[in-house]
Structure 1
Amino acid sequence: MNDLQAQGRACYKRGDYKQALAHFDRAIGRAASVQLLDNRSACLEKLGDLPNALKDAKTAIQTHREDPTGYLRAGRILVKMAKEPVALEIYSHGLRSVKHVGQGYEILRNTHKELLDKLSPPRSLDPMSVFPREIAEIILKQLSFKQNMAACLVSKPWCLFIRSCPDLWRHLDLSQARRKVRSAFISRAINIGRDKLTTATLHNLWDFDKALRALVLHTPLTTLSLLENGLLGDNLTKLLTPAKRLTSLSLASKMAFPADEIQHLLHPLAAHLESLECHLNEILPLAKMTDTLESLQTLKMTFDSCQHLQHFFRSEVHERLPNLRSLTVHGRESGRSVHTGRIALDACTNLTYLDISLPTISLRDLRLPATLQSLRLAATGIASTSWPAPLPPPTFPMSELEELNLEIGHMGLRGALRFLDHTTDGIRHLRKLAVRGAEFHSMHFDGLLAHPHLANLQHLHLPGLIDCRDEDAVKIINAMPRLLSLDLSETKITGVSVRHAIKQQNLQHLAVNNCSEIGIDAIAWAREQGVEVQHRMSNGEKGRKVRY
């Protein structure tokens, strides 16, 4: 066999490839080896029989996977066959299979690099080095915290660039975590964003205590949101005590706190807390729940029951919360009519936003400050809103009110009209009025449109006004020429109203969701006029898809 191999090599050197091929065939017939297969493949390559030459090269690879000879031969033949990408894959596979020692491995690595450089675009550039820094940051902001951590592994320049962008590491958002988030991920996130990480939204953690403790101790945390982590009581208080920079705390609605424990939680945070959102399973006087929170500006409370809600306001709110600017009080449905008692907020002279959603609301017991700019009143119970007749003396100084949102069931239009009538100073700045789910009465409807407080109205939302028809929509458009947006969802208007509304020069947004009488052609025409039209049907009806 050695003689045949030597004779074949001698013939190959003289250029007698056919005779060399005959010698190699006889040698392989006796005992095949990687060298013999490579020699025969070289002869076939010289003779132009590239498919058979490639077949021998592949057989050499299968015979001995750790020998670089077969990979080199196969890659060379594939390049001649104009299959450079396949050749690159062969070389890459060889680099993974061949031992990282010897001359053969070095030749394979260099050949792979040369082919890779050849296949790379002639002007291949790192996008992070080409884009302006501002554009690159905008692109990276579309990625999540976890994705930016992965992007740091692309290369050292990428890692240095991404870590130098503080805005990418300010918010650790785990609200969409589907699997348990392990402590190793939290540790790496802290190491990367350490001095920049100021906001955390925690959810579905593997070890909640360990993760929260590490964030509080090693990051300048200012905003914290806890979603369904189920940690209550003294343990949470101990974890948050070192958080001296924490200004905003949000506890998910499913984390119901006993009211007597909220005081222990808030005591170490009282000096610097500016925003608080929590859910309580019972109502206690505000004085028993917290000390004076001088820095608190935003408070959102949700109660399981509205029984004795007046206890919450037994101590004057303005004394306990002197700088309160935004207040949201939501009470859940208790299954029966509940008298919520007096809600006195008229002394809160800094309050600009108020959102009250309770099973029943009685204006007789409601005292509002003159500084309100946005007001939402929602009655969620069957009994709806109590509008005493006759109403008490005017108690609503609403001179600064800009937004009024009423969700008070069948008393909607009448209630809105009476509310507007009983304001002491008049509403000079009202820009937005929303009355949801009201029953339609033409007398109240006409009175509302003609009300002097609505002369400068720019946004009118009347969804759920079931009996509103085209003639009523035309009245709205004619009476309020300054409207920028109009919501007539769930009404009986047709394309006639849409066309009339579009003729209004100032109108920019029109919402007509669940309006079954409106044809798709009217919606398409309105969008062609440059008006943003919102039209969706919740009953599954489908029409022609139209892009803005």
Structure 2
Amino acid sequence: MSSLKLPLQQQGHELCEKGDFERAVSAFSEALLKKNADVISILDSRSAAYCALKQYDKARRDAKTMIAQARQDARGYMRGAKALLLDKQPKKALEVYAYGLKVLASGNAGRPQLEKLHKKLEDHILNATKRIDPFSMFPVEIAAFILQHFSFRELSVILMVCKGWARFLGGIRDLWMKIDFSGARQKVKWNAVRAAIRYSRGALTHATIKNMALSSMPQTLDYLSRCSYLEHLELFINHSGNDIFQKFRNCKHLKTIIFSAEIGVTKNEISKFLAHFTKLERIEFWNVRSSILRIRPEWPTFLPNIRSITLATQESVPRFDPNALTLPGLDNNKAGAPTYPNLQELRLDWEPPIYHRWFFFPQTDPFDGPTTGALWPLRRLELNGLTISQNFARILPTTLEYLSLSGGSAMTHHFDEPIPKLTKLHTLKLKDTRWMGPGTLPYLLAYTEAPLRVLHIEEAPRSATDALRIALSDASACNPELFKLAELSLASTQGVNYDFVKWISSHFMDLRVLDVSRTPITGLTIRDFAVAKVTTGQLALPNLDCLIVRGCEFVSSDAVEFGRQRGLQVIT
């Protein structure tokens, strides 16, 4: 049967279900004119349709008619209160509920529902009146101190709670000295950057620009370049490095410049940054290109403020070392070369599409005489893609605390002696170092006498596990500090199985974190470590807190649950 042939009241209900409330109102109005019409039900339905159309006055009028014609029918009071609530008049709605409860008899079937609605609304209004703006409870200094513990993204969310909070937060300049859009869930537009700069009164010191709408980039850079107090500039955008230099050349207070791989810069352009921004302490350029015609860039001859340098490139240079990663004056031996007396961190990253040998400068011929350490007093050194030579270990500075080597190749599989004493080295990370073996790893672990607390040997061949056995044997005599290791990662390393882990556990009694991800270990390893938490098991590592087994296909969910129930943190 089509809707046109249905009784008018039913037709109105079907029109409401379809969202056609105007025609539904017409159908209900016509139905009221029919003989023997169920007036209260039709008025109730028409009042609901009026509410859907946001015609609250007409909805309340129908509810009043319902109450006048049937004072003992709870529907009239509920419909009238509903219309008032939708019209944002909760106190008047509460009065309607109260009036209905006064009129309805105690045994009325609709009274319990009306009592429930009355109580719910009463509690809501009471709680609303008790709410106190937290920022009004504290002095401005205390509120500002609390807000400083929120991230920039969290502050941006708080800002949108209400106009009062927006005015309050916007009035605290110190909250907006550092902006960071790296956590944005959608593309950021230029007006958000402008607002943050206005809140800082133009005194912005730190800016991390990421997830920006492409159309907003010109305005964003223009606004940022006007912040003369800017000290930290971190850009994850697709833009010209030279154009950025021209825009920000008046920001003389810059101490940190970080450009993502989307921003290509040449060595000559980097030299301009170094020469112009004399207060620079940290630079990171993740897409460095060789200088034109391999002309050596004219870097400043003295850079006393530089503390951290990161250079990365992917360009192919089949016949030469990558010019993009050549750091002028690296060995401090050449006349007129730049010196970096306070350089503490150095990261050089080379990952070309087709790999070619790259010798970490300075390189000496294996047949030359012994060389002395030539690097500055670095604390942190990270090299990716280098080619190891025999003298590599000898040029490591004794001040080194963190050493990370990944990828690359080797001209040799053993280091020359004498090996420096790296008595401050607490972290050693080796990843995809296929050249690591008995002639290299024992030298780094044992003969350097490094008091390591963190050791990562990841994606290594079987020779690395064999070398580790030799290294621990040698360390017994010359580096007992090695056995105080607290964190060990053997992820994706060949030769790591139940027996090897059992052997490892007998040497590193202080180990707290062990990563054996993507290895063929089984649930037996988890079981033994979990049992060792409460009693002496096959693996004697009672101090182990965390076992990482990501990608271990022979580890069952039951074994993971068994370990967790006994206090062992198992990460899958």
Contact persistence 2:483–2:509 (CA under 8 A): no
Q: TM-score, normalised by structure 1?
A: 0.73
1:199 aligns with 2:223: no
Equivalent residue of 1:433, what SS? strand
1:316-349, Cα deviation, whole Å (9 max, x unpaired): 4665322111111101235243242533794544
**Amino acid in structure 1 at the alignment position of 2:305:** S
Taking the aligned partners of 1:456 and 1:61, their CA distance within structure 2 comes to 73
Name whichever of 443-452 and 511-520 sits farther off: 443-452
Taking the aligned partners of 2:49 and 2:263, their CA distance within structure 1 comes to 66
Taking the aligned partners of 1:135 and 1:113, their CA distance within structure 2 comes to 41
Corresponding position of 1:220: 229
Cα offset for 1:410?
A: 3.3
1:351 aligns with 2:378: yes
CA distance 1:253–1:145, shift in 2 (3 Å): farther
Taking the aligned partners of 1:362 and 1:386, their CA distance within structure 2 comes to 5
CA distance 1:337–1:182, shift in 2 (3 Å): closer
1:456-494, Cα deviation, whole Å (9 max, x unpaired): 211111112233221111110011111111112222222
Corresponding position of 1:491: 519
Corresponding position of 1:103: none
Cα offset for 1:196?
A: 6.4
Taking the aligned partners of 2:396 and 2:49, their CA distance within structure 1 comes to 89
Taking the aligned partners of 2:470 and 2:209, their CA distance within structure 1 comes to 50
CA distance 1:495–1:448, shift in 2 (3 Å): farther
CA distance 1:324–1:51, shift in 2 (3 Å): same
Contact persistence 1:364–1:388 (CA under 8 A): no
Name whichever of 160-169 and 394-403 sits farther off: 160-169
Corresponding position of 2:246: 238
Write the mapping of 1:320-469 to structure 2, written as runs, cut at 5 A: 320-333=339-352, 335-340=354-359, 342-343=361-362, 346-365=373-392, 367-380=395-408, 384-389=409-414, 391-414=415-438, 415-423=440-448, 426-427=449-450, 429-441=451-463, 443-452=466-475, 453=479, 454-469=482-497
Name whichever of 250-259 and 290-299 sits farther off: 290-299
Contact persistence 2:378–2:399 (CA under 8 A): yes
**Amino acid in structure 2 at the alignment position of 1:416:** L
Equivalent residue of 2:496, what SS? coil
Equivalent residue of 2:506, what SS? helix
**Amino acid in structure 1 at the alignment position of 2:241:** L
**Amino acid in structure 2 at the alignment position of 1:128:** P
1:70 aligns with 2:58: yes
CA distance 1:194–1:385, shift in 2 (3 Å): farther
Equivalent residue of 1:490, what SS? coil
Of 78, 81, 85, 1:82 maps to 78
What 5-or-longer segments of structure 1 have no aligned partner?
Answer: 1-36, 42-47, 93-107, 536-548
Cα offset for 1:191?
A: 1.6
Write the mapping of 1:41-190 to structure 2, written as runs, cut at 5 A: 50-54=40-44, 70=58, 72-74=60-62, 76=64, 80-83=76-79, 86-88=82-84, 91=87, 120-124=124-128, 125-126=131-132, 128=134, 133=143, 137=147, 141=151, 143-144=153-154, 146-151=156-161, 154-156=162-164, 158-163=165-170, 168-175=175-182, 181-190=188-197
Contact persistence 2:457–2:489 (CA under 8 A): yes
Write the mapping of 1:239-258 to structure 2, written as runs, cut at 5 A: 239-258=247-266
1:275-334, Cα deviation, whole Å (9 max, x unpaired): 110021126788624453221211111023463248824524665322111111101235
Equivalent residue of 1:265, what SS? helix
CA distance 1:317–1:277, shift in 2 (3 Å): farther
**Amino acid in structure 2 at the alignment position of 1:229:** N
Contact persistence 1:309–1:341 (CA under 8 A): no
Corresponding position of 1:302: 312
1:427-472, Cα deviation, whole Å (9 max, x unpaired): 2x21111111222256434213334232221111111223322111
Corresponding position of 2:498: 470
Cα offset for 1:146?
A: 4.2
Contact persistence 1:200–1:225 (CA under 8 A): yes
Cα offset for 1:190?
A: 1.7
Taking the aligned partners of 1:228 and 1:296, their CA distance within structure 2 comes to 24
Taking the aligned partners of 1:462 and 1:56, their CA distance within structure 2 comes to 72
CA distance 1:336–1:110, shift in 2 (3 Å): closer
Taking the aligned partners of 1:479 and 1:136, their CA distance within structure 2 comes to 46
What 5-or-longer segments of structure 2 have no aligned partner?
Answer: 1-28, 68-73, 97-117, 333-337, 364-371, 533-540
1:499-522, Cα deviation, whole Å (9 max, x unpaired): 333312211111122222222222
Cα offset for 1:225?
A: 1.1
Taking the aligned partners of 1:394 and 1:353, their CA distance within structure 2 comes to 21
CA distance 1:293–1:121, shift in 2 (3 Å): farther
Equivalent residue of 2:326, what SS? helix
**Corresponding pairs, count:** 464
Taking the aligned partners of 1:485 and 1:58, their CA distance within structure 2 comes to 63
Taking the aligned partners of 1:512 and 1:289, their CA distance within structure 2 comes to 47
Of 547, 556, 561, 1:519 maps to 556
Name whichever of 166-175 and 355-364 sits farther off: 166-175
Taking the aligned partners of 1:201 and 1:138, their CA distance within structure 2 comes to 17
Equivalent residue of 1:435, what SS? strand
Equivalent residue of 1:123, what SS? helix
CA distance 1:446–1:87, shift in 2 (3 Å): same
Query: Matched residues, percent identical?
Result: 19
Contact persistence 1:198–1:221 (CA under 8 A): yes
Cα offset for 1:219?
A: 6.6
Equivalent residue of 1:288, what SS? coil
Taking the aligned partners of 2:443 and 2:50, their CA distance within structure 1 comes to 93
